[in-house]
């Protein structure tokens, strides 16, 4: 097992490298994004999405319609791990709500995550056509216990993009896979 000093030193080196990489990136830039070429789903229709935490901008290929209500079911198929972090602040295995900044070796690392107002590794939803108004973490969505689903309303017309809230340039050390069931409610 690595010593705490070794882990902190590795984290510092990784963050420094990540800051250098992210300094070259524009905050809204999404490589390979096609924000308006997806297929719309009809009310009651469901699609299954295969989500990997290593993908920094997963274009689902599903075009959402402005004002329409959607449901998202999350089924984790393996443990999620961010580098060496396997549990959240409660000691539970990581899942779609991510983990608090207190799990990071240094508090200042919190400034490197893509959304400052959401947990590390939290599942994030965004539509590239209206980035600022559509960006939501899974914790922002209402949860329907009866259906075991998260509910949200599309902010604009355009594809749905998913990612975990991590630092730019640090997605390759992520581990995790989930099946996501997306359906339109109305």
pLDDT, tens digit (0-9, with 9 covering 90-100), for 32-45: 444 457 999 999 99
Give the CA count within 13 Å in the CB-facing half-sphere of 182.
26
Confidence of residue 2 (pLDDT cuts 50, 70, 90): low
Nearest to 152 by CA among 129, 179, 119, 125: 125
pLDDT, tens digit (0-9, with 9 covering 90-100), for 148-175: 999 999 999 999 999 999 999 999 999 9
Distance, CA of 172 to CA of 155 (rounded, Å): 30
* Cβ pair 184, 43 in contact under 8 A: yes
Percent pLDDT > 70 in the chain is 81
54 forms bridges with which residues in the sheet? none
Q: Mean pLDDT, to the nearest integer, of 81-88?
A: 96
């Amino acid at each position: 097992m690595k010593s705490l000093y070794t882990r902190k030193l590795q984290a510092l080196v990784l963050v420094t490298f990540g800051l250098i990489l992210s300094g070259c990136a524009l905050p809204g830039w999404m490589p390979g994004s096609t924000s308006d070429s997806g297929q719309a789903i009809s009310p009651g229709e469901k699609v299954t999405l295969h989500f990997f935490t290593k993908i920094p901008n997963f274009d689902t290929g599903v075009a959402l319609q402005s004002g329409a209500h959607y449901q998202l079911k999350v089924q984790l198929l393996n443990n999620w791990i961010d580098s060496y972090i396997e549990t959240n602040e409660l000691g539970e295995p990581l899942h779609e709500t991510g983990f608090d900044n207190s799990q990071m070796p240094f508090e200042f690392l919190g400034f490197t995550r893509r959304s400052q107002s959401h947990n590390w590794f939290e599942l994030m939803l965004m539509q590239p056509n209206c980035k600022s108004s559509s960006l939501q973490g899974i914790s922002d969505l209402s949860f329907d216990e009866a259906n075991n689903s998260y509910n949200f309303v599309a902010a604009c017309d355009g594809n749905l993009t998913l990612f975990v809230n991590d630092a730019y340039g640090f997605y390759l050390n992520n581990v995790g896979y989930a099946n996501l069931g997306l359906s339109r409610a109305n």
